[in-house]
Amino acid sequence: MDDAQRRLIFALDVDSFEDARGWVEKLQGQVGAFKVGKQLFTRCGPDVVRMIRDHGVDVFLDLKYHDIPNTVAMAGLEALKLGVWMFNVHALGGAEMMAKLVEQVDKVCPRGTEGRPLLIAVTILTSSTDATLQAIGIERPVAEMVPRLAKLAQQAGMDGVVASPQEVGLIRQACGRDFAIVTPGVRPADASLDDQKRVMTPGEALRYGADYLVIGRPISAAPDPAAAAAAILAEMRGALQA
């Protein structure tokens, strides 16, 4: 598996175990990890994570924990036991919540230990705009909130963040190079935006400094998903070699 494949995460936004397994079997040689989100995990539970791992592929558990510090920390330990490669929390849960998670994971699996998952904080959802934030009482714009939350996550000991590709440069300025950035909201130029608002093409996202790209519908909704994945990987390789 080459560098582009390792950086590509396929979003398993399906509603059944059988559909999930079908996509894993179809794409396991092309992508570095599969994202399991709320819908699939609520329907299938930990069994779907175990199935993906049994196929020898990494899992990004995308449940976006956001609760009191101890509850999030205990949920994180359960994710650790499942053997996921990466899982996330909401940075808006605050520094104490994130630091508590890091503290508890460190006790069981210290940083640098094989099998320790990447602890990632979601900044602002890619479906949100400045108007979305204002409606819930956050007066600062997205472009200010994202690097602010990324810095907060870094100070709490998190390994990286989830953010729109449009904010990758701002995060790099705030947090440096050794901080993982996972970017949904990535769409090939000819793809539908669906419910995403702040998007870039795969090549653009990598050139701006993203580490991992989460892509779902541009592959799953394509007439030929394998060809769509191959085209995305080709664009990614070109950006990485530039």
The rounded distance, in Å, linking the Cα atoms of 231 and 124 is: 28
Residue pair 222/228 in contact (Cβ under 8 Å)? The answer is: yes
In angstroms, rounded to a whole number, what is the distance separating the alpha carbons of residues 87 and 9?
A: 13
Q: Which residues make beta-bridge pairs with 121?
A: 89, 161
d(CA 67, CA 103): 16
Both structure tokens of 48: 């779907």
Confidence of residue 190 (pLDDT cuts 50, 70, 90): low
Q: Would the pLDDT of 197 be above 80?
A: no
The beta strands (E) that lie in 38-95 are given as: 58-65, 86-90
Query: Taking residues 136-147, what's their average pLDDT?
Result: 96
- Of all helices (H) and strands (E), which one includes residue 215? strand 212-215
Positive or negative CA dihedral for 185, 189, 191, 195?
positive
Question: Residue 218's Cα: distance from chain center in Å?
Answer: 16
Q: Specify the residue for token string 């989100």.
A: 37
Q: Which two tokens stand for residue 168?
A: 């990758």
* DSSP three-state, residue 161: strand
The arithmetic mean of pLDDT across residues 187-192, rounded, is 62
pLDDT value at 168 more than 70: yes
Residue 193 has pLDDT above 60, yes or no: no
Residue 149 has pLDDT above 80, yes or no: yes
Instruction: Please check whether residue 17 is in contact with residue 51, taking contact to mean a CB–CB distance below 8 angstroms.
Output: yes
What is the distance between the alpha carbons of residues 205 and 197, in angstroms, rounded to a whole number?
Answer: 15
What's the rounded mean pLDDT across residues 133-143? 96
Is residue 208 over pLDDT 50?
yes
Q: What is the pLDDT, as a whole number, of residue 242?
A: 73
**Confidence at 196, pLDDT banded by 50, 70, 90:** very low
Select which of 26, 35, 38, 64 is catalytic. 64
Residue 64 annotated to the active site: yes
